[in-house]
Amino acid sequence: MKVIIVGGVAGGASTAARLRRLDESAQIILLERGGAVSYSNCGLPYYIGGVVQNRDDLLLQTPQSFWDRFHVEVRIFSEAVSVDPAAKTVRIRRTDSGEAYTESYDKLVLAPGAEPLVPPIPGGSNAYTLRTIEDAARIKEAAAAGGARKAVVIGGGFIGLEMAENLRKAGLDVVVAEGSDQLLPPLDPEMAAIAARELERNGIQVLLQNPVKEIRPSGGGYQVLCGSQSLPCDFAVMAIGVRPESTLAVQSGLKVNARKGIVVDEMLRTSAPDIFAAGDAVEKYHLVSREPVMLPLAGPANRQGRVIADNLSGMEHPFDGVIGSAVCKLFHVTAACTGLNEKTLKAMDRPYEKVYLSPSQHVGVYPGASPITMKLLFSPDGTVLGCQCIGEEGVDKRVDVISTVIKLRGSVSDLARLELCYAPPYSSPRDPVNYAGLIAENVLSGLSPIKHWHDLAERDQASSILVDVRTQEEYAHGHLEGSINIPVDELRDRIDSLPRNRELWIYCQVGLRGYIAQRMVMQLRPDQKVYNLSGGYRLLSIAGLLPEQKQNQ
């Protein structure tokens, strides 16, 4: 069997290595348009910022190492320019010499990946993009050039923010210009706002609702026109997203979707016989939304490469879909998510509930405890739909656990009852994951009816009252306007001071004392409506949702 693989990195290289482990007799040819066949694409920003100091450390395999270990023939600087599915041939052009030739195949694997999206604006080509090691080297050189002081990153997604952090670490003043009303699109706005505040604390200027219009040369540097802003800089990096690099597939007559993603079946076969496809260019099935999606992530690309190799070897393993787990480091905090966000659930008109919580990543008695802000989304029957999490430590661990439960179609009760590792440096007897499940269970069972931050704007002040059950000292440092302060430990003795004919909206710092107070009142006054504000005062504060914060922004 002769197999040609178009594209290296995650999907293509994993296909080649797995296939050789399964079939020693196969002839495997891997075509790579650039000069590196297998490298850490996700590590490129950290090379620019100096965290990864040696460029060669980014290389996972070289053409020679691939041959020595796997007897895979890697042809770098070799671009597949056309495919004839009927004749089962690939037309190949050498990008360094222009030489062209034709190669036959028994099986063809397309793993072309995704390319940076550059909008059709004047001067768009003046911005750097980041995809290859060569791209990273050019940006690193620009950042280190004599006199370079300011960079503009256009786009506030994962790649854009990783670029912003690392350019800042390289000593530059950095502005992030984002066209929408939030950073990190996989997160919901209130969670993304926490990430924005972390960037600002570390000296990065964040501009929202400022779509790029033009990049104009100016005095040895550039002027980036974004919305109403004109931003001077030494250079700009375009990071507004990616699109599938599917030109070869389209020209070959393969079926693609509206976004030009290559359509495959569960075995990752394309619409043409003996042609498979993997990676960022491929449409994938989302296990939670149950709809096809384009999801450019390294993990699914690697898994797809393995699935294709298995199927080429006759093992018949389907690719079971994606759930969208992703993580991003932002200076001192980590932001991660999995499953569906609230925006998507609303767009789907799918019933859901949510809870916010801010547990510490480990017990307070052990030094260094810090809170994790979590948002858990779940259906009315308790099925876990998604999670978002931001904090200094332990974020990826919790999101990984919840993503596993989502993959297994688990419920909030499963989260509540998971047996997870505990020792004081790492967690608590009840892990934050357990707390998320327990809180959600209480909401679904009716033990703890809740309100959310956005409900405050619509609250009928004539029929409801805000009750702050924190200490007097906490209340004095900031509280919701119009609230009354009755510390939870005094509530039993002072409950007669609360009106019986109004709804009680109780809140504390993060939600726990509010829940305790709520259960107390609900049992002492079973006919009164009592709500707990999910996430408490802390969520409003750190996400910039307090009325006075909005006025100052």
Q: Is the pLDDT of residue 551 over 50?
A: no
Query: What pTM, to 2 d.p., does this model score?
Result: 0.94
pLDDT at residue 34, as a whole number? 87
- What is the C-alpha end-to-end distance of the chain, expressed in Å? 63
Average pLDDT over residues 391-409: 97
Q: Is the pLDDT of residue 527 over 50?
A: yes
Q: Is the pLDDT of residue 388 over 60?
A: yes
Q: Is the pLDDT of residue 550 over 60?
A: no
| % pLDDT > 90, the chain | 92
pLDDT at residue 501, as a whole number? 94
Each residue's pLDDT tens digit, 157-190: 999 999 999 999 999 999 999 999 999 999 999 9
Pairing of strands 242-244, 114-116: antiparallel
Each residue's pLDDT tens digit, 420-476: 999 999 999 999 999 999 999 999 999 999 999 999 999 999 999 999 999 999 999
Average pLDDT over residues 533-539: 97
Q: In whole angstroms, what is the distance from residue 274 CA to residue 377 CA?
A: 41
More confident residue, 39 or 518: 518
pLDDT at residue 227, as a whole number? 84
For the purposes of burial, counting CB atoms within 10 Å of the CB of 310, is it exposed (0-12), middle (13-18) or buried (19 or more)? buried
pLDDT at residue 148, as a whole number? 85
pLDDT at residue 548, as a whole number? 65
> Sign of the C-alpha dihedral, residues 375, 449, 436, 543?
positive
Each residue's pLDDT tens digit, 468-501: 999 999 999 999 999 999 999 999 999 999 999 9
Q: Is the pLDDT of residue 41 over 80?
A: yes
Among 101, 102, 100, 105, residue whose Cα is nearest residue 85: 105
Q: Is the pLDDT of residue 5 over 80?
A: yes
Q: Is the pLDDT of residue 552 over 70?
A: no
| Residue numbers annotated as active site | 42
Contact between 16 and 2 (Cβ < 8 Å): no
Amino acid residing at 133: I
Contact between 340 and 208 (Cβ < 8 Å): no
264 Cα distance to chain centroid: 24
Supply the DSSP string of 344-402, one letter for each residue: HHHHHT---EEEEE--BSS-TTSTT--BEEEEEEE-TT-BEEEEEEEESSSHHHHHHHH
Q: Is the pLDDT of residue 384 over 50?
A: yes
pLDDT at residue 36, as a whole number? 83
Each residue's pLDDT tens digit, 51-75: 998 888 888 888 999 999 999 999 9
How far lies 502's CA from each of 155, 284, 451, in Å? 46, 50, 15
pLDDT at residue 553, as a whole number? 47
**What residues have CB less than 8 Å from 327, skipping those under 6 apart?**
334, 335, 336, 337, 395, 396, 399
Average pLDDT over residues 222-231: 92
